[in-house]
Amino acid sequence: MRALSIAASGMQAQQLNVDVISHNIANMNTTGFKRQRAEFQDMLYQNMERPGSTSSASGSVLPLGIQIGVGVRTDAVGRITEQGSITATSNPYDLAINGRGYFQVTMPSGQTGYTRAGNLAVNADGQMVTSDGYPIEPSITVPAEATAIQITRDGIVEVTLAGQTDPQQIGQLEIASFINPAGLEGIGDNLFLETPASGTATTATPGSPGMGTLMQGFLELSNVNAVEEISSLIVAQRAYEMNARVITAADEMLQSTTQLR
């Protein structure tokens, strides 16, 4: 009975859907997090009678045919890269990207990672780093005698030194963009890696054509909408229950068959 395997594929699909939704909800307060969405496709059809085939010697053509679907499968788990809400923190090392772009990070392996999480800090050497201690690219080193730091919307980093009134420029931040940011590979720790699907990174200063601008003293929150996620969770749960009910009904039908006298 096909209904057993078909309903089982539906239960597996909805289980994955719930996994994706639960991951979104768990990261509601993760800085720069981008929610994901499970996408599904119907599986191959069994052709009992192919539509358009000849049904008689006179050349009659079947207008419909008989095609039996065999279930559903996961097509992809896509990432929604829309802008998250921006909140003020008053921390001079917090940066939010308003628009397209990713901060570039040098990972311990030497690879370049990309992140939307702008909760930066300064390490013991004065270098601007992420919360995990990974230096950002291009490297920015804040002098020990700096009393204030200012980062403009186009990424110019200036500091005010002790005993001086005029700020001095110490570096220029750059951000990277991708033609298909949804194709980036998430590796955890708010980091992404470039893939053939994302395309090659294009780097430029903030505010350049096609690039977002920086906001000092702000952070971008996740783009997870709690109401939408809870609604999706309820729908997924009901779909799972209905597929389970199909399996129960198919089992009862098989029982009736075995009890025939």
The 3-state DSSP class for residue 207 equals: coil
Q: What is the pLDDT of residue 57?
A: 67
Q: Tokens representing 43?
A: 């599986």
Q: Which of 142, 31, 28 is nearest to 92 (CA)?
A: 142
What's the CA gap between 245 and 178, in Å, rounded? 44
Q: What is the pLDDT of residue 256?
A: 86
Contact 72, 179 (CB under 8 A): no
What's the CA gap between 60 and 62, in Å, rounded? 7
The total number of residues shown for the chain amounts to 261
Beta bridge mates, 176: 102, 203
User: Exposed, middle or buried: residue 92 (CB in 10 Å: 0-12, 13-18, 19+)?
Assistant: middle
The 3-state DSSP class for residue 137 equals: strand
The predicted model scores a pTM of 0.86
Residue 153 corresponds to which amino acid?
Answer: R
Q: What is the pLDDT of residue 53?
A: 78
Question: Tens digit of pLDDT per residue, the chain (261 long)?
Answer: 789 999 999 999 999 999 999 999 999 999 999 999 999 999 888 887 777 777 766 777 877 778 888 899 999 999 999 999 999 999 999 999 999 999 999 999 999 999 999 999 999 999 999 999 999 999 999 999 999 999 999 999 999 998 888 899 999 999 999 999 999 999 999 999 999 999 999 999 999 999 999 999 999 999 999 999 999 999 999 999 999 999 999 988 888 888 876
Contact 213, 139 (CB under 8 A): no
Beta bridge mates, 121: 129
Q: What is the pLDDT of residue 46?
A: 82
Contact 104, 174 (CB under 8 A): yes
